[in-house]
Amino acid sequence: MPESTRLICGVDEAGRGPIAGPVFAAAVLLDPRRKIEGLKDSKLLAPQRREALAECIRRDAHAWAVASATVEEIDRLNADLKPLRSFVLPGGSPASAVLHLSRTVCRRAERLMAELADTPGEEVSAPALKYVNRLSDFLFVAARYLNDKGAGDVLWQPGQNR
């Protein structure tokens, strides 16, 4: 593939986290020149159409993956990490930086969900809030784990980095 080729990357999660099982996440790299018709919000699709599109994705995508993490797996990863003595800044390895960025997006969603839950007439379930919180925990722990189990973390140092 030429270096100048642009790809479309999509990431989504599913499940309800520790309330009802593990966290699941899927990622895909698509070539915009090879569009997959009907690829939108899978929750709006009939099960048969969703399965047909999944087959198209597996066939036509540059890469795809599905992974899961149980509460116990997240806690096990966290147990191997050095205790924090400072704030962790997004950075370190490229994969870790992407996970830190994903965590910030997840935390933003969590804040918006909490604000919505406090709005009269709106309803956000407690399991949904717990799930998005646990997902952001996983992204943080995974980012630190990929940074040489925390040894490669970029730590905030007052007055030295911003």
Task: Give the per-residue pLDDT at 122.
Answer: 84
DSSP string, the chain: --TT---EEEEEEES-GGGTS-EEEEEEEE-TTS--TT-S-GGGS-HHHHHHHHHHHHHH-SEEEEEEE-HHHHHHHHHTSPPPSSPEES-SSHHHHHHHHHHHHHHHHHHHHHHHHTSTT----HHHHHHHHHHHHHHHHHHHHHTGGGTT-EE--TTT--
Span 117-129, pLDDT tens digits: 888 888 888 878 8
Residue 85 has pLDDT above 50, yes or no: yes
Could you tell me the pTM of the whole model?
0.59
Domain boundaries defined on the chain:
1-69, 72-162
Give the confidence band of 113 by pLDDT, cuts at 50, 70, 90. confident
Span 4-48, pLDDT tens digits: 556 666 656 555 444 546 777 777 777 777 788 887 766 778 888
Task: Give the per-residue pLDDT at 5.
Answer: 58
Second CATH level (architecture) for the domain 72-162: Up-down Bundle (1.20)
